[in-house]
Structure 1
Amino acid sequence: MQITRLLTILLLCWLMPAAQAAEEAPAPGNALTLDELRTFTDVFNQVRNNYVEDISEQTLLRYAIEGMVQQLDPWSEFMDAETFRQLGDVSAGRYGGIGVRVDILAQRLFIEAVTPGGPASEARILSGDQLLAVDGVPVRGRPLGDSMDALLGEPGSTVELRVRSPGEAARELTVTRDYLTVPSVFRKPVDGDIGLFHVSHFTRHSHEELRAAIDDLGADLGGPLSGIILDLRGNPGGVIDSAVAIADGFLDRGLIVYTRSRYAPTQIEFRAEPGQWTEALPLVILVDSRTASAAEVLTGALKDHGRATVIGARTYGKGSIQSVLALRNGAGLKLTTAHYFTPSDTVIQGHGIVPDLVLEDQSVEVLETTELDAGIRAAIRTIRGKSLP
C-alpha cells in the first residue's frame, strides 16, 4: 500500500500547481487531467489486486516506467543501477573478463587468442587450448553462448576453468577477472600498400586507435600508404565524439554534423579544424545495411565534403542521439533527445546514407579471411583509378 499512497501524493503534487495555474491562464492542450491521472492509479490497483500472479508494487512500478520509455522508440531505455554502470564500461571500451578470444569448432570451445599481460596470459592459458568447463559447469551439454558469457564478470571476481592443451591432460585454473580494453580498430594491408581499417564500433578511444593503426601500418610497410579503406560494415555506432574526431582527421574545415533537439545539451554542431592525418590520400568508406548511428555521421560528413567515396549498401538510418541521464537512485535513462543532420542538411534518421557506388548487401567478416570480397575489390579499384574522390 505504500506505493499506492505515494502515487496519490505524486498526483496531488502534479495537479496542485496545475490547478493554481488554471485560475490564471487556460491549461495547455496536452496537459493531463485529473481523470487521466486517476486512470493510471486505477489500473495499477487492479493489476496489483487481481492479476493471476502476485507481483510486488515495486515490480509493477518498474514495469510502468519501462513500458512508458519503450513505447517512445526502439532505442530509449530505462536501466537499473547495474545496467547503468555497465553502460559506462562499454562506452569506455572496457569490460571485466579474462582476456581471451574464443572460437567455436565442431560445437566445442577453443581459445583462439590470449591478450598479452591479461589474466588468462598470467594463468598460462594458451592459444589452441580447449575450454572444458566454467565454474564447474561442463561446456558439453550447455549452450555455448552461456559458457562464453560466464567468462565475463565483475573485475576482481574469480572464475574456475578447466582447460586442456593439445596432447596434454586437463588442468584446473582459478583466474581473477580484470578490466580489459576492447579494441575497436583492426588493420591489414591489401593490394600491397593500401591500408584496410575495420572499425567495429566507436569507443572513447577509437579515433586514437585508428590514427595509431594508420601510422603503424605505414611503418610496417616501410613507406607511406597509397590509400585508405575505412570499413564500417556492421558498425552499430557508439561514442559520437570519437566518430567526429575521425571525420576531423580527414578534413581541414567545414561542418561535420549538427543536431536538432528540444534538450539543450544535445543541440550541438561540430566543425573540422585545420590539419589532416593523411592529407591528399585517397579514402574509400565501405558501408552496409548494418552501418548505423555514429558510423553514419562519419560517413555522411566525409561523403558530403567529397573527401571519401562511399561503397556498399544504403546504411541503417539511425540518426538519433540517446542521452544517458542519471537518476537519483543510481539507475539511468537512455532517452532519444536529438536527430543528426549531415553538412548537406540530410536527415539520417529513417533514411540512411546512400553510397556513391551501390553494391549488394553482404555479411562479411573482413579480417578473418584472406579472400578479398566485392566491396574491398571495388575500393581497391577506386583508389588505384584516381588520386582523390
Structure 2
Amino acid sequence: MNRLLKRFPLLQVALCGGAVATTAAISLFGPGLSRVRAALQESPKTVIDEAWQIVNREYVDGTFNQTDWQEVRKSLLGKNYSSREQAYLALRSALEKLNDPYTRFMDPKQYEALSNQTSGELSGVGIRLEVSEQTKVLTVVEPIENSPALKAGIQAGDQILAIDGKLTKGMTVEDASTLIRGDVGTKVKLEIGRQGKESSMLALTRARIELPTVRYSLKQEGTQRIGYIRLNEFSAHAADQMRRAIQDLGNQKVEGYVLDLRGNPGGLLQASIDISRMWMDKGSIVRTVDRKGNNEDIANNRTSLTKLPLVVLVDGNSASSSEILTGALKDNGRATVVGSQTFGKALVQSVHSLSDGSGLAVTIAHYYTPKGTDISHKGITPDVKIDLSDEQRQKLASNPKLLATKEDPQYARALATLQKVALTAPASTVQQASQSQK
C-alpha cells in the first residue's frame, strides 16, 4: 500500500500538518471477536474499538510509547458508557498514553471541519468576512472568484446587515459563517449595505466553493520583475492553483520567484510532492520510514515548470508539508531559504472516519529531508536567517497589506537574495528558463 497517494484502498489519506480529506468508515474487529460485534454495533464501544484497531495496526511506534496497548483495549471495552461523549473522553485519555499530540480523536463536528479545511472547498456563497475595526459591522473583505457572491455583484467593503432576517449587529465572523454556509442548492438571504446606497436584499443559492490557498502577483521591484506566490495551506486544490500561478507569472516574463510559506501549517502530503515537482526536475523530495523500518523515497520526475531563480520564505509557523517542500528545495540546491527557523514536525498522519461520523488521525511514519536530516523538534535552518522583532511581527499582523512590501523585513531580504542569485546564475540557464515559459 502506497502511503503517499491521495487515496488508499480504504480511502485513507496521508497528511502532514492540520489537514485531512474524507475517508471511508472502517469497522475492524480482530480474530475471535465475532461474538461481540453485534453487542458493540449500537454501543459507543464501536467507535472506541475502531479507533483502537487503527492505532494498533498503523501507529509508527510499535511499542506504543512503552504502553501495553492490549491492556488499554481491555480497559476501554470493559467500561460501560452512558453517552458517546463519555466514550470520546475515555478514548482521548487512552490516546494520551502515546504522548503524541498528532495522534488524536475528533468528534463529528471537529472531523467535518477538518475535512472541509483540507478539501479546500466549502458549501456557501463565497465571501470572506471581517468585523470592521472602524464601524464594528460585519464587512466583506472580498468575494471569492467564480462564487455566487461575486456573480451577484457583492463587493469588498459591502456590509452584511442581516442573514435570513437575523440582524448581524454584535455577531462574530464565525457565527455569521455558520449561518451563511449550508447545503449546495439551498438559498440564503443577505441584507447588503453599501456606502451611499440604500440597503438591498439578495437571495443567493449556495454552491460548492473552491477556496483559494494560493495568492500571487507580479511585483516590479526596481528593474526586476518578481513573481510573488503565497501558499497558505497544502489543500486538495493547492497543486492546481500553484500550477496556474507559476504558469501565469511565467507568461508575464518574471525574472525570478519568491515563494512565501510563512505561517503555512502543512496539509496533504501528496500536495507537497506535486508542488515540489513543479520547481525541480530531478533529485529526492522526501524519505518516509514506517514502524517496520520500511523506507520509501519519493523523487522528482522531470516535470518542473520553471528553472528561474527561487527564494523561499519561512518562519516558525512553517510546518510539516511546508518543511517537506522547503527541505527538498534546499537540499537539492534549487532555492535559497530566507527567514526564521521552521517549526520542526517530521511526522506523517493518516486520517480515518469512524462509523458515527467522528474521525481519527494517527501517526504512521517519520520523514527525512533528501540529505537524511531529521528535523523533529529542530526545524529547518534558513540559508539566510532573519528573525522579526516582536514589534515588526505585530506591525505585519495588524496590517497584512504590508506583507511582501519593503515594510516586510523578511521579504526585503528575500528580494536582495534573489538579486544576488540572479546575478550569479549562468545566463544560459536564465535564457533557457525564459524560453520554456513562453
- TM bin (shorter chain): 0.7 to 0.9
The match for 1:292 among 308, 312, 319 is: 319
Distance 1:202 1:263 in 2: 28
Q: Distance in 1 between matches of 2:257 and 2:411?
A: 11
Aligned letter for 2:405?
E
Task: Assess, with a 3 A threshold, how the Cα gap between structure 1 residues 70 and 368 changes in structure 2: closer, same or farther.
Answer: farther
Q: Distance in 2 between matches of 1:144 and 1:117?
A: 22
> 2:397 aligned with 1:368, yes or no?
no
**Is 1:66 matched up with 2:101?**
no
Aligned ranges for residues 336-355 of structure 1 at < 5 Å?
A: 336-355=363-382
CA offsets 1:316-357 (integer angstroms, 9 cap, x no match)? 111211101243444431111111110111112211111111
Cα separation, 1, equivalents of 2:247 and 2:43: 60
Structure 1 CA distance, aligned partners of 2:229 and 2:45? 57
| Residue type at the aligned position of 1:269 | D
Question: Do the aligned residues in 1 keep the contact of 2:323 with 2:380 (CA within 8 Å)?
Answer: yes
Q: Which residue number corresponds to residue 298 of structure 2? A: 270
> What is the Cα deviation at residue 301 of structure 1?
0.9
Classify 1:108/1:176 alpha carbon distance in 2 versus 1 (closer, same or farther; 3 Å). Answer: same
Q: Sort the Cα spacing of 1:171 and 1:244 in 2 relative to 1 into closer, same or farther, 3 A.
A: same
Q: Is the 8 A contact 1:158 1:174 kept in 2?
A: yes
**Equivalent residue of 1:386, what SS?**
helix
Relative contact order (alpha carbons < 8 A, sep ≥ 6): 1 or 2 greater? Answer: 2
CA distance in 2, matches of 1:206, 1:37: 39
Map of 1:21 onto structure 2: none
Is the 8 Å Cα contact of residues 186 and 367 (structure 1) preserved in structure 2?
no
| Paired letter, 1:261 | D
Partners of 1:345 and 1:130 in 2: how far apart? 52
Map 1:170-319 → 2, pairs under 5 A? 170-190=199-219, 191=221, 192-220=224-252, 224-262=253-291, 268-279=296-307, 281-319=308-346
Deviates more, 1:72-81 or 1:351-360: 72-81
Q: Report SS of the residue matched to 1:193.
A: strand
SS at match of 2:267: coil
- Greater shift, 159-168 or 78-87, is seen at 78-87
Deviations 1:138-186 (A, max 9, x none): 2222334422443233333333322112222222333222110011111
Are residues 154 and 76 of structure 1, via their aligned partners in 2, closer, same or farther at CA, if it must alter by over 3 Å?
farther
Deviation at 1:6, TM superposition (A): 7.2
1:131 aligns with one of 144, 160, 170: 160
Matches within 5 A, 1:110-189: 110-189=139-218
Q: Counterpart in 1 of 2:429?
A: none
Q: Which stretch has the larger CA shift, 338-347 or 57-66? A: 57-66
CA shift digits 1:237-256 (9 cap, x unpaired): 11111111222222222211
DSSP-derived class of the 1:360 partner: coil
How far apart, CA to CA, are the structure 2 residues paired with 1:230 and 1:323? 27
Give the unaligned 5+ runs of structure 2: 1-38, 47-65, 426-438
Amino acid across the alignment from 1:368: K
Change (3 A) 1:66 1:267: farther
Q: Secondary structure at the match of 1:268?
A: strand
**Distance in 1 of aligned mates of 2:69 and 2:335:** 50
Deviation, structure 1 residue 37: 7.0
SS state of the match for residue 341, structure 2? coil
CA contact (8 A) 1:110 1:130 kept: yes
Q: Secondary structure at the match of 2:298?
A: strand
Asked if 2 retains the 8 angstrom alpha-carbon contact of 1:98 and 1:120, the reply is yes
CA 367–246 in structure 1, closer or farther in 2 if over 3 Å, else same = farther
- Larger gyration radius, structure 1 or structure 2: 1
Q: Aligned partners of 2:104 and 2:187: how far apart in 1?
A: 31
For the residue of structure 1 that corresponds to 2:201, the secondary structure is: strand
Verify the 8 A CA contact 2:218 2:254 in the aligned structure 1: no
Matched residues, percent identical?
33
Change (3 A) 1:156 1:375: same
The answer to whether the 8 A contact 2:106-2:359 is kept is: yes
Distance 1:163 1:215 in 2: 37
- Listed as ranges, the gaps of 5+ residues in structure 1 are 10-28, 49-55
Deviation at 1:86, TM superposition (A): 4.7
The alignment partner of 1:354 has SS state of coil
Relative to the length of structure 1, the TM-score reads 0.80
**d(CA) in 2 for partners of 1:275 and 1:41?**
51
More off after superposition, 173-182 vs 146-155: 146-155
Q: What residue number does 2:416 align with? A: 381
Aligned 8 A contact 1:197 1:229 in 2: yes
Moved more, 238-247 or 139-148: 139-148
Contact 1:231 1:287 in 2 (8 A): yes
Aligned residue among 93, 103, 122 for 2:120: 93
State the number of aligned residues: 355
Amino acid at match of 2:413: A
Alpha-carbon contact 1:263-1:338 (below 8 Å) kept: no
Report the CA distance shift for 1:359/1:58 in structure 2 as closer, same or farther (over 3 A): same
Cα distance in 2 for residues equivalent to 1:81 and 1:328: 10
Aligned to 1:320: 347
8 Å Cα contact 2:339/2:410 also seen in 1: yes
| 1:70 CA drift (Å) | 4.8
